[in-house]
Each structure stands twice: as structure tokens, then as C-alpha cells.
Chain A
């Protein structure tokens, strides 16, 4: 009986660890997206400050390619939209993982107390 609980507990613990890993990954991803969002915001602001006839280049590999200012603006706006969406998605992912973690922790605690009471009884 105790062995069975032990096995269950170990399985649950493994799930818990995996969740933790996933959670950290999601948080790291969120941070990266955040910094990308900030950088793109800065670029957007900078582009909006430029004169209409200002020359804008895009770095493609090692070369600077001339770009249309309007096009660049649209491009950055699109990127901002995409990143914001991604951030929302990761936020959802993070809170889902948090909930899962909580549930598994509860399970772990329950199994642990079961194990303890079995040990005392045995």
C-alpha cells in the first residue's frame, strides 16, 4: 500500500517538475517579448519623428537596404501588433501553468499526508 502511494507520489512529482520547467520557459519567453516590444516601440517613435523625406535603411545581412519610410512604419506597426498578441498568449499560458502547478502541489501534499499516515499506522 505504501509502495503504491510512493510510486504515485513520484509520478506526481515528475509532473510537477516538468510544469516548473515549462513555467520558467514561458516566463523567459515573456521577458524576451517584453524587451522586443520595448525596442519596437522605441523604433516606432523614432520613425514618427523623422521628416517625410528622410532616408531609412534596413539591415539585411551585412548590407543596408534603402526602404520607404511609410513601409518601415507599417512594418514596425505590424510587428508591434504581433508581439502584443504573442505577449497575451504567453500571459495566458503562464496563468494556465500556474493553475496546473497549484493543482499538482495540492495532489502532492495529499499523497504525502497519505503516505505519512500509512507510515505511522504501519
Chain B
């Protein structure tokens, strides 16, 4: 029969690990593994987002008043380009999310990407801190499991001899 556990509360560090049996510990460990995986995935996604913002920021740096009137190749599709000239080197249009685009001057755009990179970096740091905490709990659970297994083996030995 499947045991239905209510799942450890978010404040799981308040649970006394030594009071859980091996089965419960294993379940907890599994749960933590899952959570750590989610963290790992989130970090990866954030890293990708961060990379995109950094790249966009660098692209903006390349637009200076000196680039005005220069020809560029504009990609119409992934494999087809048409020539064009840069008419406006003062403003760029930025995707700010949910389908909205805003026109900003170069300084504003630089500031925007810098802010975004900072924001993403901050989120990554938060997740890293959480991840380290969870890893510690996981380690403690592993140790407790080892201890329980050993204690059980010893008890068995004692009863058979």
C-alpha cells in the first residue's frame, strides 16, 4: 500500500532527522534531489537569459554616431539578407516583455541591459544560496541513513550470534 505522506513542510530543517526511519529518510532525500534538480535547471535557464542580455548590451555598444549611414546586411530569414543603411544611431527599440517594445536612446538601452543582467545575476545568487542549503540538508540525510543502516546491521549481527 502506498503511504501517503503530507510532505515535509518548507521549514523542514525543524524535523529531527534521527527520529525518521530509513524509508522516510529515503523519501526525503528523493524529494530534495528533485528540488535540487529544479534549482539546477533554473540556474541553467537564468544563465542563458544572462548571456542574451550581455550579448544585447554588447551589440548596443557597437552602435555609435560613427556608424550612421553605414551599410549592414539585414537578415530577412535565417539564410537571406538584404542590404540596408543605418539611419538612426541614437535610438533602439527594445523588447521589454509581453509583446511590448519601447524606444530608448543608446544610454537608456545600455542601462536597461545592465539592469537586466544585474537582476538575473541577483536571482542566480539567491538560487545558489538555497541550493547550498538544500545540499547540506541532503548530506545530513545521507549521513543519517548510513548510520541507521549500520545500526540495523549491527543489531542483526547481535541477534544472530
Mark A residues whose CB is within 8 Å of B.
Answer: 36, 39-40, 42-43, 46-47, 50, 54-60, 64, 67, 72, 76, 79, 105, 112
Contacts and interface: CB of A to CB of B under 8 A. Distances in A.
Contacts of B10: none
Decide if the interface of chain B is mainly helix, strand, loop or mixed. Answer: strand
Contacts of B103: 54-57
Contacts of B104: 50, 54
A112 B93 CA distance: 64
A79 B97 CA distance: 13
B60 to A, nearest CB: 16
19 contacts: A42-B96, A43-B96, A43-B97, A43-B100, A46-B96, A47-B96, A50-B102, A55-B93, A55-B103, A58-B101, A59-B95, A59-B99, A59-B101, A60-B99, A67-B100, A72-B100, A76-B98, A79-B98, A112-B1
A57 B93 CA distance: 9
A39 B99 contact: no
Decide if the interface of chain A is mainly helix, strand, loop or mixed. Answer: helix
Contacts of B96: 42-43, 46-47
Contacts of B98: 36, 39-40, 43, 76, 79
B102 A64 contact: no
B97 A39 contact: yes
Given A64-B93, A112-B1, A58 B99 contact: yes
Contacts of A58: 99-101
B100 A105 contact: no
B8 to A, nearest CB: 16
A54 B102 contact: yes
B145 to A, nearest CB: 27
A53 to B, nearest CB: 10
B82 interface: no
Contacts of A47: 96, 100, 102
B135 to A, nearest CB: 24
Contacts of B93: 55, 57, 64
B129 interface: no
